[in-house]
Amino acid sequence: MNASTWNKCTLERRNNLRKNGLHPIDDCFSNQLIENIAQTNRSIIRQLLWVLYLWDQSYQSMIDLCNGSPLI
């Protein structure tokens, strides 16, 4: 989180958070943590889809080879 984003987060939420008994740093940190987890999950899903695609391609090639079809 860069300084500009951090300042905006704390300035916009400071009063409301204190009314609810939270400190601005806690809220901003948790939002950044959630975003980091979401980015990690998206990355893992992309990698898994790529692995499944490659597995499917190799499996299809093996079937073609067993059936005597020429490999492209």
Query: Other C-beta atoms within 10 Å of 9: how many?
Result: 19
Q: Is 71 contained in some domain?
A: no
Mean pLDDT of 17-28: 63
Structure-token pair, residue 20: 């609810």
Residue with tokens 């190799």: 58
Contact indicator for 29, 2 with CB cutoff of 8 Å: no
Q: Is 72 contained in some domain?
A: no
Mean pLDDT of 48-62: 88
What's the pLDDT score for residue 44? 93
Estimate the crossing angle of helix 3-19 against helix 24-66, to 10 degrees.
120
pLDDT at position 40 over 70: yes
Q: Is 60 contained in some domain?
A: yes
Q: Is 51 contained in some domain?
A: yes
Q: How confident is the model at residue 7 (pLDDT cuts 50, 70, 90)?
A: low
Domain residue limits at 17: 3-66
pTM, two decimals, is 0.47
pLDDT > 90: percent of the chain: 18
Please tell me the total count of domains within the chain. Answer: 1
